[in-house]
Amino acid sequence: MSTLSIRDLHVSVNTGEGEVKEILKGVDLTINSGETHAIMGPNGSGKSTLAYSIAGHPKYDITGGSVTLDGEDVLAMSVDERARAGLFLAMQYPVEVPGVSVSNFLRTAKTALDGEAPKLRTWMKDLKGAMSDLQMDDSFAQRNVNEGFSGGEKKRHEIMQLELLKPKMAILDETDSGLDIDALRVVSEGVNRAKAETGSGVLLITHYTRILRYIKPDFVHVFVGGRIVEEGGPELSERLESEGYERYVAGAGAAT
Ligand code: ADP
Ligand code: MG
Ligand code: MG
């Protein structure tokens, strides 16, 4: 069993005009293997900042608190070390990787994670299996990473990584944005499958409730103004669907 533990995390960004703005104002969250946590909140509340901070994006300055994976200090790790430790953060990868095919990219990532190259025959079988599960054509493997990918292809590529790299903890930021209803279902099924196969913990960040019809969260956290303001079970997302974030935002003050 693995545990990702976030304690009183404070994060600031330099806005570029010599101004430092605190975005995360003391986030506490614990995710165990096999659990799905949904973070829901309005635009600008700091959800992506949380994901980027765990990923080790240099723009975000950790001013207080801790993030540990099984007791190891994640914040002291390089981005590569975080991946090797078993954290999956889709946004840590470059937007486009010119000249590198999906197939080579994934095999290289797998090799880096495992410390040895997967056997070619097994690998090809796993790769094809992952693509067919996600209803993708075989030719996708030969395309350059993210070059000309549609929104849906980008998300499917993320889920392929999840299925093939088998992380301990997966953080998915707005996996539902830009997907039509069929793609949403296929992508959600991919997350569920990867979770069932590897027992990963999943942190699902979203501001829509619709993806939660397909990926059932065990815990829902409402995120407003840089912190978690309420926690509950799946029933909380249903309440958010009907009531929105109004009452939280009125209390906490909108981030933007
Ligand atoms: P969410 O994902 O919930 O929509 P974000 O984490 O993207 O929110 O942003 C939270 C707040 O932090 C917003 O006000 C945003 O403008 C600000 N912010 C985030 N990243 C940066 C940055 N790199 N530079 C300046 N402001 C930023
Ligand atoms: Mg604090
Ligand atoms: Mg965001």
Q: What is the pLDDT of residues 163-179, one digit of tens each?
A: 999 999 999 988 777 78
Q: What is the pLDDT of residues 93-119, one digit of tens each?
A: 445 677 889 999 899 889 988 889 999
Instruction: Give me the residue label for tokens 């392929």.
Output: 160
Ligand nearest to the CA of 50: 1
Ligand 1, pocket-test mutation among 10, 12, 13, most atoms within 8 A of CB: 13
What is d(CA 173, CA 30) in angstroms, rounded to the nearest whole number?
Answer: 17
For residue 252, which phi and psi values (nearest 5 degrees)?
Answer: -95, -20
In the predicted model, what is the mean pLDDT of residues 177-203? 88
Cα 64 to ligand 2 centroid, rounded to whole Å: 8
Neighbours of ion ligand 3 (CB under 5 A): 47-48
Q: What is the pLDDT of residues 5-63, one digit of tens each?
A: 999 999 999 988 889 999 999 999 999 999 999 999 999 999 999 999 998 988 999 99
Cα 137 to ligand 2 centroid, rounded to whole Å: 48
For the chain, domain boundaries: 3-252
Ligand 1 pocket at CB < 6 A: 13, 15, 23, 41, 43-49, 59, 255-256
Are 154 and 96 within 8 A, CB to CB?
no
Q: What is the pLDDT of residue 92?
A: 45
Q: Phi/psi zone of residue 174: left (φ > 0), alpha (ψ -120 to 50 degrees), beta?
A: left
Kindly tell me if the per-residue pLDDT of 79 is higher than 80.
yes
Kindly tell me if the per-residue pLDDT of 229 is higher than 80.
yes
What is the strand order of the sheet 201-206 is part of?
87-89, 169-173, 201-206, 36-40, 219-224, 227-232
Whole-complex ipTM: 0.94
Ligand nearest to the CA of 10: 2
Q: Quick one: which atom of ligand 1 is closest to the CA of 174?
A: 2
240: amino acid identity, one letter:
L
Above pLDDT 70, what percent of the chain? Answer: 95
The residue whose CA has the least distance to atom 21 of ligand 1 is 13
Q: What is the pLDDT of residue 167?
A: 92
Kindly tell me if the per-residue pLDDT of 250 is higher than 90.
no
Q: What is the pLDDT of residue 10?
A: 98
Q: Which of 45, 52, 84, 47 has its CA nearest to residue 67?
A: 52
Tokens of 142: 């030969």
Q: What is the pLDDT of residues 119-131, one digit of tens each?
A: 999 999 999 999 9
What is the pTM assigned to this prediction? 0.90
Ligand 1, pocket-test mutation among 15, 19, 22, 23, most atoms within 8 A of CB: 23
The residue whose CA has the least distance to atom 25 of ligand 1 is 15
Cα 116 to ligand 3 centroid, rounded to whole Å: 35
Q: Which residue did the predictor score with more confidence, 243 or 28?
A: 28
Cα 50 to ligand 2 centroid, rounded to whole Å: 14
Homologous superfamily of the 3-252 domain (CATH): P-loop containing nucleotide triphosphate hydrolases (3.40.50.300)
Band (91; pLDDT cuts 50, 70, 90): low
Sequence length of the chain is: 256
Average pLDDT value over all residues in the chain: 89
Q: What is the pLDDT of residue 252?
A: 59
- Which range has the worst mean pLDDT, 88-97, 154-163, 219-228? 88-97
The residue whose CA has the least distance to atom 7 of ligand 1 is 48
Ligand nearest to the CA of 256: 1
